[in-house]
Structure 1
Amino acid sequence: MRANKTQHLLQDNDVKFWGNDIWSGNSPDLNVAECIGSIMKDKVETKMLPVTEYSRYHEDTPKMHIENVPTSMEENTELFETLLCSYPSRLRAVKNANGRHTDY
């Protein structure tokens, strides 16, 4: 909401800028790295589920899983290829949604 007010203020004062109609905001729908980060976070959380309460809060336990998950994903080239190849359809979806949230 504030961004819209700011954009209107700039427009009313003839300040030239790229608005939401040209430049989308920080869109996680277009950020493949954010998708990978979300997948990694989910995998770490899944690995943490069976960990007992004492071990769960020991710093070595989450650190171990955080280090192991990316290593286990290295061979999954299909995941990365799928995410990268989905970029054109992601871009179309964001464009069709006028920069708003999509189903990605």
Structure 2
Amino acid sequence: MSFRAVSELHFISKCQTITAEYYVNEILNGSLMSSLLRQPEQGNILTRKLLPDMSRYIFQQHGAPAHTAKRAQEWCNTNLVEFWHKSQWPGNSPDLNPIENLWSIVKQEIELMDTPTNISMLEKHIKQACSQILPETLENLVSGMPKRMKLCIKQKGGYIGK
């Protein structure tokens, strides 16, 4: 997620275990790289270029075992312009992670649709909900980070509320 777009959505079958190998080969080398290479300046948040200047980003993950695995960390160090090593990541807090707020918006959009009756329909709903989110929504989520960080410090890492 950037202030103007989200990376390609990657759906994982329920029988798939997310190992470091799968994460590197399918998600980092696949979905992430294809998203970083997108060129369109216009379009919905699923198709437009992630950033106007790809030399100015920080790639960050959370603490999932596949993310913290040596193989994944090495891949990121080798292939990404700017990467925060796992020791630099902020605490696992929804208040410090704008994508958590984005997922909340996606969930609200999906709840307005017909109830999905199978996985394929749910995936379609997720894609549809994401494609309807305006780039300005992402800008607001990202630009609100400094304020949320200050509030989190003030709360000594506690929940900052709304």
Coarse TM-score class (shorter-chain normalised): 0.5 to 0.7
Q: 2:106 aligns with which of 40, 51, 54?
A: 40
TM-score (norm 2): 0.41
Q: Does 1:81 align with 2:147?
A: no
Q: Offset at 1:66?
A: 1.4
Matched, 1:72 2:138: no
RMSD (CA atoms): 2.0
- Give a deviation string over 1:55-89, Cα, whole Å, max 9, x none: x424443232112111222xx12111111111110
Which structure has the larger Rg? 1
CA distance in 1, matches of 2:144, 2:96: 10
TM-score (norm 1): 0.61
The Cα offsets for residues 3-62 of structure 1, whole Å up to 9 and x where unpaired, read as: xxxxxxxxxxxxxxxxxxxx96311001001111111111112213xx5xxxx4244432
Equivalent positions of 1:1-104 (< 5 A) are: 25-48=91-114, 51=115, 56-73=116-133, 76-104=134-162
Which structure has more helix as a fraction of its residues? Answer: 1
* Count of aligned positions: 74
Question: Residue type of the partner of 1:44?
Answer: I
Higher relative contact order (CA 8 A, sep 6+): 1
Q: Which amino acid aligns with 2:121?
A: T
Decide whether the 8 Å contact of 1:44 with 1:66 is kept in 2: yes
Please give the alpha-carbon distance, in whole angstroms, between the structure 1 residues aligned to 2:154 and 2:107: 29
